[in-house]
Structure 1
Amino acid sequence: MKNPTLHDVARLAGVSSATADRVLNRRGNVAEKSVRKIEEAVAQLGYVRNIAAANLSRKRGYHLAFVLPRRSHAFFGRMHEQLQKAALHLKSARVAIDVIEFEAFDAHALEVAVSGLSETGYDGVAFVGLGQRTALMPLVALRNSGVKVVSLVSDGPQDCRDHYIGIDNKKAGRTAARLVGMGHGGKAGRVIVTAGSLDARDHSDRIEGFTAVLEQDFPSIEITSVIETKDQPRQMRALLSERLRGDDGYTSIYNVGAGNEGLVDAVRMNGRDGLSICVVHELSACTRDALEDGTIDVAIDQRPEIELNRALALLQAIVDDLPPPPAPELIPAIYLRDNLPNEPL
């Protein structure tokens, strides 16, 4: 049986093909009675409009914006690089992308970056949320103007975005805690936790999950006060080295965020005596080398390239008022020195 056509919809609804086309492509100026008839005909026939063909006939494209932190560490650098790699394909698909950068963990900088975007004609915007409500008003203004909004990596308030794309950060923290617990082999210990910022929702969610598992299943492992580094390697190196030199009882390290170059330097300078396991987030050239030489033990990789690709597909779908493309839950990859990918980052 052939798929129903626009002509079939118009004939069943008792209207012209031009009227049916106006309704299906949301161009307005059609009586409500006719709109209802066309919608009923669509439902009865199971008609699915060909978005690609409609966009091509109207020479319509997509104008998207990605509001990302600067390339301050490897994770967001990988996102920027993935956008550049996709540029040629996106151009052929009539997708134009602007990248608006802001300083990571700076809520005011995020607010400035998204302010005024509702007046630029974007169809969709993806942003990395800080979990704070500082940028709420400009994001709500975006949605109210008809722009589709997606949060990436770290979620924002639900009333300022349509969808979230990223890993479940509480699960990621719970996974790290399980690895730390297993690394202690039933013995007591002290874990040093480092994070970019407790104000960033992804970091606070990971710490929440991490703490819950240790308290429930490994109560003999104590969590020391969290070191906040703004994900800056130099700050990480200085603060972690100070903690390592002043705490003879530490047995493990868990870095919730980035700044891993500083962590690796600190561990190499201070040695691994007494250290049962060191767990970090994100695979990079630095953490790959550190896995291979035994400086760290586990890298939990969020696979930002997949997040970025999903965001592109999602934005194009919801801009066309289609349901989100089906996709399985995004599960981080757990890398040890034994299962590193052949292709270096």
Structure 2
Amino acid sequence: MSRDFLIKEIALQAGLSVATVDRVMNGRPGVRTLTQQRVAEAIRELETQNRQRALTGRKFIIDLVMEAPVRFTNEVRAALEAELPTLEPAVFRSRFHLWETLPAQAMAQALDQIRETGSHGVILKAPDVPEVVAAVGRLVEAGIPVVTIATDLPHSGRRAYVGIDNRAAGETAAYLIGAWLGTLRCRVLVTISSSRFRGEEEREAGFRQALRRRHPNIGIVEISEGHGMDRETVALARQALMEDRMIVGAYSIGGGNTAVLAAFAEAGRVCMVFIAHDLDADNALLLKEGRIRAVLHHDLRQDMRIACRHIMHAHGALREVEATLSAVQVITPFNLPPTFDG
């Protein structure tokens, strides 16, 4: 047990005598299990109080840097802004650098600018390309911790990744689509915003391998580089549907879901099953209308909270940080959160 506190402090917190706490702390016999638990809980409470005192008034400036469609950056920004007040008594201030598309060199320059300006930490969604990996390395060398979200940069020196297990998310999509399509011999359109994002590649790999293993009757047609933008995505989907009459459903990894559905409608084709990612306003509406079957979602606020805690830990403000990935949630029209169930 901790020796950071005086026995009389622990005794006062636990509501026990000094003699009893002394027996527990020194492992002497004749102490009930419940008493030992009370002492352990008192120490945890004292540790929490110490951390709270140490954080009072401490200020952190963090930067959220993302390349993603605006519908997703809006959701992440809202999640971060909702979580920051819960981190009191520390005071967080956030700066936002958000683009729908951005050349790799421009992303690297943006990260270098943050390094020159100064920051307590960067929360980053960016492609896994050499220019960005090198820029993240320069941030880390300058003492600025980087936490990746949604898609990882595992060889960059980043401090942690927060988000879902992307491979497991792809396997979940395969399980659902296989259950709905059964033994039908067909193919599914898989949309990826860009092959530069490791997270999307991991989702696709999990999806492909799970289908091959469990549902070999269902094939895949992949389209990429639509960047989650409707205009680019609809053109790619239209071309794929024109070339392959066996496509009967879609797994949207990279967004542009309205565009994909429009392409099915233009081709006079029925989309029998459609699985999407991330519960934003657009996807909630598509669910309510019955145009998509399910959305694979996770708690963005949890991601932001853990990301901020990793940054605090990097600066010695926290002793430890939970390292769990976010659970994949399967959202249908029947379990929409109250925010979207209007």
Tell me if TM exceeds 0.5. yes
Please say if residues 264 and 290 of structure 1, whose CA atoms lie closer than 8 Å, have aligned partners that are also in contact: no
**Residue of 313, 318, 326 corresponding to 2:309:** 313
Question: Measured at CA, do residues 340 and 103 of structure 1 come closer, stay the same or move farther in structure 2, by a change above 3 Å?
Answer: closer
Q: Give me the identity figure in percent.
A: 25
**Which residue matches 1:256?**
253
What's the CA shift for 1:182? Answer: 1.3
SS of corresponding position for 1:147:
coil
1:197 deviates by 0.6
Q: Choose 199-208 or 79-88, whichever is displaced more.
A: 79-88
Determine if contact 2:250/2:275 at 8 Å carries over to the other structure: yes
Q: CA deviation at 1:137?
A: 2.4
User: Given that residues 75 and 280 in structure 2 are in contact (C-alpha distance below 8 angstroms), is that contact kept between their aligned partners in structure 1?
Assistant: no
For 1:169 and 1:145, the matched residues in 2 are separated by: 30
Matches of 1:157 and 1:189, distance apart in 2: 35
In structure 2, how many angstroms separate the alpha carbons of the residues matched to 1:167 and 1:68? Answer: 17
Indicate the RMSD between aligned Cα atoms, in angstroms.
3.0
Preserved CA contact (<8 Å) 2:65 2:124: yes
Superposition deviation, residue 89 in structure 1: 5.7
Contact 2:273–2:292 (Cα < 8 Å) also in 1: yes
**Cα pair distance change 1:289/1:123, threshold 3 Å:** closer
Q: 1:64 to 1:284 in 2, by over 3 A?
A: closer
Per the alignment, residue 68 of structure 1 pairs with 66
Say whether residues 1:177 and 2:157 are aligned partners.
no
Distance 1:116 1:211 in 2: 39
What amino acid is the match of 1:154? T
On the 8 A contact 2:192/2:200 being kept in 1, the answer is yes
In the TM superposition, residue 206 of structure 1 has moved relative to its aligned partner by 0.8
Within the alignment, does 1:223 sit opposite 2:220 as a pair? Answer: yes
Q: Normalising by the residue count of structure 1, what TM-score does the alignment of the two structures yield?
A: 0.78
Mapped to 1, the partners of 2:224 and 2:166 lie a distance apart of: 19
Given the superposition, is the C-alpha separation of residues 61 and 96 from structure 1 closer, same or farther in structure 2, using an over 3 Å criterion? same
- Say whether 1:304 aligns with 2:295: no
The number of residues matched between the two structures is: 305
Distance 2:307 2:268 in 1: 41
Q: How does 1:259-274 map to 2 (within 5 A)?
A: 259-273=256-270
Report the secondary structure of 2:136's partner residue. Answer: helix
Residue 80 of structure 1: how far off its partner (Å) = 1.6
Q: Secondary structure at the match of 1:312?
A: helix
> What TM-score results when the alignment is normalised by the length of structure 2?
0.79
1:155 CA drift (Å)? 0.4
Report whether the alignment pairs 1:293 with 2:289.
Answer: yes
Q: State the distance in 1 between where 2:319 and 2:262 align.
A: 46
In structure 2, the CA distance between the partners of 1:249 and 1:152, relative to structure 1 (3 Å rule), is same
Q: Is the 8 A contact 1:148 1:315 kept in 2?
A: yes
1:178-227 CA distance string (max 9 Å, x none): 11111211221111111101121111111111111111121121112434
For residue 165 of structure 2, what is the amino acid of its counterpart? D
- The match for 1:29 is none
Aligned pair 1:142/2:139, yes or no? Answer: yes
Cα deviations by residue, 1:210-265 (Å, 9 ceiling, x for unpaired)? 11111112112111243431111111122213322443221221111112232233
Unaligned runs of 5+ in 1: 9-44
Q: Distance in 2 between matches of 1:317 and 1:223?
A: 43
CA change 1:84–1:60 in 2 (3 A) is closer
Decide which moves more: 191-200 or 233-242: 233-242
Return the alpha-carbon distance in structure 2 between the equivalents of residues 259 and 306 of structure 1.
25
Contact 1:278 1:297 in 2 (8 A): yes
Give distance in 2, aligned partners of 1:224 and 1:89.
Answer: 44
Aligned to 2:140, the other structure's residue is in SS state helix
Distance (Å, rounded) in 1 between the aligned partners of 2:154 and 2:4: 41
Partner of 2:244: 247
Deviation at 1:313, TM superposition (A): 2.5
